[in-house]
Structure 1
Amino acid sequence: MDEFWVFGYGSLMWNPGFPYEERVLARLGGYRRSLCVRSYVHRGTEDRPGLVLGLDRGGSCKGVAFRVAPSSWQSTVDYLRERELVTSVYLERHVRTQLSDGRSVRALTYVIDRAHPQYAGAVTVEEAAQIIEGAVGRSGPNPVYVANTVAHLREIGIRDHWLESVASAITANGA
C-alpha cells in the first residue's frame, strides 16, 4: 500500500483525532450519510440512546478524506477501531473514494452493520429530533453533535438538507 486514506462523513470531518498530512473534500459512491445508529456510548446510553451518523447503503456521500503518513498508519487504525468499533455497530471497509481534485483513492471508513441491534433504519425528521433532544453520552449532548456536524458541513461547502432539517427541528423544540 502506497498511501493510507481515511474517509470521514460525520464527526471525523471536524474532529479526526489522528495526525494527517493532507485533507481533501471527497465523495463516496454507494453510501449515504444517515442518522441511522442508536448511540449507546458517545451520544446516548442504553437507557436513553441518541442517534449518530452512519454510512448506509444507497446514494452517495460528500465528506473529507485524510491522507495519513506511513509512520502513523497503525496508530491511526488502532485509534479508529477503538473510537468507531466500541459496540461493533460499524463494519470497517476500504472503499474507492473520489477526491475533489480528481484523484481516486482507497480509503478506510466505517459503514453501518444493518444486522446490528443499534441500527435504527430510516427515521423521519421528527422522530430523529425527538430521539436526539434529550440524549447525552460519554462524548456529550446529542444535539451538540448534530449542530457541530451541520455547521462543519456548511463551513466546507457541503449541504445535507435532511440533517439540516433535523437540526432545525431540534432547535424549534427548544433543545
Structure 2
Amino acid sequence: MVMWVFGYGSLIWKAGFPYDDRLVGFIKDHRRVFDQGSTDHRGTPEFPGRTVTLESAAGEVCHLEVREKQYDQKAYVDFFTDPAAITPAVSGVMVYIGSPDKKINPNYLGPAPLEDIARQIVLAEGPSGPNRDYLFQLEKALLQIGCEDKHVKDLADEVRRLLSERKLKGEEV
C-alpha cells in the first residue's frame, strides 16, 4: 500500500516514522498559520504553545505526530512539484489539519497579531522543548528545501527580536 503524507510543520524535519521516499513540493489554495495550540509538545494545558495548521486561502501555496492527535481533521489533497503544473505530481496526499471549530478542536487558538503570537512562542515550553525551537526548526527546514514562507520568516524575526530584548534586560532567555 502506498500512502503519501504532506508535512507542512515538524514533519518536514522530524518525521517520527520510517518512510521510503520524500518529495519536495506544495499544495495550492492553503497557507501555513500558527493558529493551533500545542498542550502536549510545545506548551502545556496551562500555557499552550503555538504550532502550524493549514487554512484555506485562495491563490496561496503551502510548501513543504502522536503529534497529530491534536489535529481533528484529515484531508486528501493534490500535491505539486512544479509551480506551472496543472496536473498534480501526486493526488490523494493525506494532510492533518486543525480546524477552527472550538467544539471539535479545543486546542485551536485562532489568529492573533504577529507580536502576540511571537510573545506566546517565546514563553511557551512543553515536553518536546521550547516553542521557539519548533519555529526556528521549521524556518531552517523550509530554507533547506528552498522554500521561504513569509509568515514563518516574519514570526521568527519577531521572536528573535523579543529574545534579544529580553537578553538586554537581563531576563532568562
| TM-score of the aligned structures, taking structure 1 as reference length | 0.81
1:9 aligns with 2:11: no
Shift of 1:97: 1.5
- Flag the structure with larger Rg: 2
Unaligned runs of 5+ in 2: 164-172
1:168 aligns with 2:169: no
Q: Which whole-Å CA distance do the structure 2 matches of 1:103 and 1:49 have between them?
A: 36
Shift of 1:104: 2.8
Q: Which whole-Å CA distance do the structure 1 matches of 2:22 and 2:119 have between them?
A: 34
Q: Which residue of 1 aligns with 2:126?
A: 137
Shift of 1:173: 1.1
Shift of 1:155: 0.9
Shift of 1:121: 2.0
Q: Which whole-Å CA distance do the structure 2 matches of 1:4 and 1:104 have between them?
A: 10
RMSD after superposition: 1.8
Q: Which residue of 2 aligns with 1:108?
A: 94
- Which residue of the other structure, out of 139, 144, 147, is the alignment partner of 1:150? 139
**Contact kept in structure 1, 2:41 and 2:67, CA below 8 Å:** no
Structure having the larger proportion of residues in strand: 1
| Map 1:57-136 → 2, pairs under 5 A | 57-58=56-57, 59-63=60-64, 80=65, 82-85=66-69, 87=70, 89-100=71-82, 103-115=89-101, 116-136=105-125
**Contact kept in structure 2, 1:99 and 1:105, CA below 8 Å:** no
Q: Which whole-Å CA distance do the structure 1 matches of 2:23 and 2:3 have between them?
A: 13
Unaligned runs of 5+ in 1: 64-79
The answer to which structure, 1 or 2, has the higher relative contact order (CA under 8 A, 6+ apart) is 1
Aligned length: 155
Q: Could you tell me the percent identity over the aligned residues? A: 30
| TM-score of the aligned structures, taking structure 2 as reference length | 0.82
